[in-house]
């Protein structure tokens, strides 16, 4: 429940709180202590308390509750912190860039598995091609709020339902059963029917799941229980590398493991599901920025051979 103060406001213009109040709020929320926040900001505890009271009066909501364990955010405070922290981070990043003479900065956000498995092994190539661009990469499973924080491009995973943004497919991907060499030697799998009794690894966040694969290649053969479940594709893939079972994952994201022999396609004839599940998303206002255009051009050049336009045109988005 939101805790409202008695304050009311008739002013309808933009309500931008004083920066000192926002900094006090963020420090208290992070440190969970008025005293520690005051020491960090080189203020007295009473001064910090005054800044928060000023902010609460402006907003008309209580942001903190004092408990026996210290200071806790109210539900309104938690929501506000999520928005304010990103804005303060953007101000800090912009200031640091200006201080150090960085003019060609690109702020990129990505889903974790894409960043770890596909982007990071190739990022050196981008740096060599565009040495003057200062790339700032952040990673989390949450999508970016372009209205808060300093993000130019967001590489998102999922169904493309972002009507107010520019959306470009990264590339189509083949979702295939993958396993280590040692696992395949031990289990002798030669047909889809052999998977019904093999240890299967599932990533719960994936768009494509084992029941969908079995529905296409072995109707009615999907086991009810998976041997291992993870909430990230990179952990599912790593478990397969360790020989713990068979993962149903993107051959594109697993490209380094396939090239190095740490993983193999279970079936030589593919038995893949083709999907488009990663998208580069950005607001129209940055579409003409040179840094954005450079990254998009680089990304297109890094697409796998099977994902060139002639192939991609035949692949529809997975739904």
pLDDT, tens digit, 9 for 90 and up, residues 224-262: 888 899 988 999 999 999 999 999 999 999 999 999 999
Residues paired with 156 in a beta bridge:
279
Q: Which fold has domain 172-276?
A: D-Maltodextrin-Binding Protein; domain 2 (3.40.190)
If DSSP codes are grouped into helix, strand and coil, which group holds residue 297?
A: helix
pLDDT for residue 84 is more than 50: yes
Please tell me the distance from the alpha carbon of residue 91 to that of residue 98, in angstroms, as a whole number: 11
| Residues 78 and 71 sit within 8 Å (Cβ to Cβ) | no
pLDDT at 3 over 50: no
Q: What is the pLDDT of residue 174?
A: 94
Q: Which one is predicted more confidently, 311 or 202?
A: 202
Question: Do 172-276 and 102-171+277-312 fall under one CATH topology?
Answer: yes
| pLDDT tens figures, 134-178 | 898 988 888 888 876 678 999 999 999 999 899 999 999 999 999
More confident residue, 240 or 42: 240
Q: What is the mean pLDDT of residues 289-313?
A: 74
End-to-end CA, the chain: 37
Q: What is the pLDDT of residue 319?
A: 29
- The whole-number pLDDT of residue 316 equals 33
> Where does residue 298 rank: exposed (0-12), middle (13-18), buried (19+ CB within 10 A)?
middle
Lowest mean pLDDT among 88-92, 235-239, 273-277, 279-283: 88-92
The vertex-132 CA angle with 127 and 133, nearest 5°, equals 65
- pLDDT-based confidence at 91, cuts 50/70/90? low
- The reported pLDDT for the residue numbered 312 is 36
Residue 217 clears pLDDT 70, i.e. is over it: yes
| Average pLDDT of the segment spanning 15-43 | 86
What Å distances lie between residue 178 and 174, 238, 305, CA to CA?
A: 11, 11, 20
- Fold held by 1-101: Arc Repressor Mutant, subunit A (1.10.10)
Fold of 102-171+277-312: D-Maltodextrin-Binding Protein; domain 2 (3.40.190)
Q: What is the mean pLDDT of the chain?
A: 84
What are the structure tokens assigned to 227, written together?
Answer: 């041997």
Whole-number pLDDT of residue 147: 74
Q: What is the pLDDT of residue 93?
A: 61
**Domain boundaries, given as residue ranges, for the chain:** 1-101, 102-171+277-312, 172-276
pTM more than 0.75: no
Confidence of residue 90 (pLDDT cuts 50, 70, 90): low
């Amino acid at each position: 429940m939101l805790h409202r103060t008695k304050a009311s406001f008739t002013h309808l213009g933009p309500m931008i709180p004083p920066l000192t109040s926002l900094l006090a709020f963020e420090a208290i929320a992070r440190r969970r202590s008025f005293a520690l926040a005051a020491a960090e900001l080189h203020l007295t505890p009473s001064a910090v308390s005054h800044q928060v009271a000023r902010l609460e009066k402006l907003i008309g909501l209580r942001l903190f509750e004092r408990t026996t364990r210290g200071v806790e955010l109210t539900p309104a405070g938690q929501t506000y912190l999520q928005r304010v922290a990103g804005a303060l981070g953007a101000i800090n990043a912009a200031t640091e860039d200006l201080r150090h003479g960085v003019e060609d900065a690109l702020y990129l956000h990505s889903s974790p598995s894409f960043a770890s498995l596909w982007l990071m092994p190739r990022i050196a190539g981008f740096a060599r091609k565009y040495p003057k661009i200062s790339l700032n990469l952040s990673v989390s499973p949450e999508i970016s709020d372009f209205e808060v924080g300093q993000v130019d491009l967001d590489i998102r995973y999922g169904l493309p339902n972002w009507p107010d943004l520019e959306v470009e497919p990264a590339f189509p991907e083949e979702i295939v059963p993958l396993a280590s060499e040692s696992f395949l030697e031990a289990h002798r799998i030669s047909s889809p029917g052999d998977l019904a009794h093999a240890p299967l690894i599932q990533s719960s966040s994936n768009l494509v799941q084992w029941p969908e694969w079995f529905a296409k290649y072995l109707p009615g053969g999907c086991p009810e229980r998976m041997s291992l479940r993870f909430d990230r594709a990179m952990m599912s893939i790593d478990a397969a590398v360790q020989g713990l079972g068979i993962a149903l994952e993107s051959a594109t994201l697993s490209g380094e493991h396939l090239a190095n022999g740490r993983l193999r396609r279970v079936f030589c004839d593919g038995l893949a599901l083709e999907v488009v599940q990663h998208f580069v998303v950005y607001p129209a206002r940055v579409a003409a920025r040179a840094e954005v255009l450079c990254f998009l051009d680089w990304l297109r050049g890094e697409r796998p051979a099977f994902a060139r336009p002639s192939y991609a045109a035949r692949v529809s988005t997975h739904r």
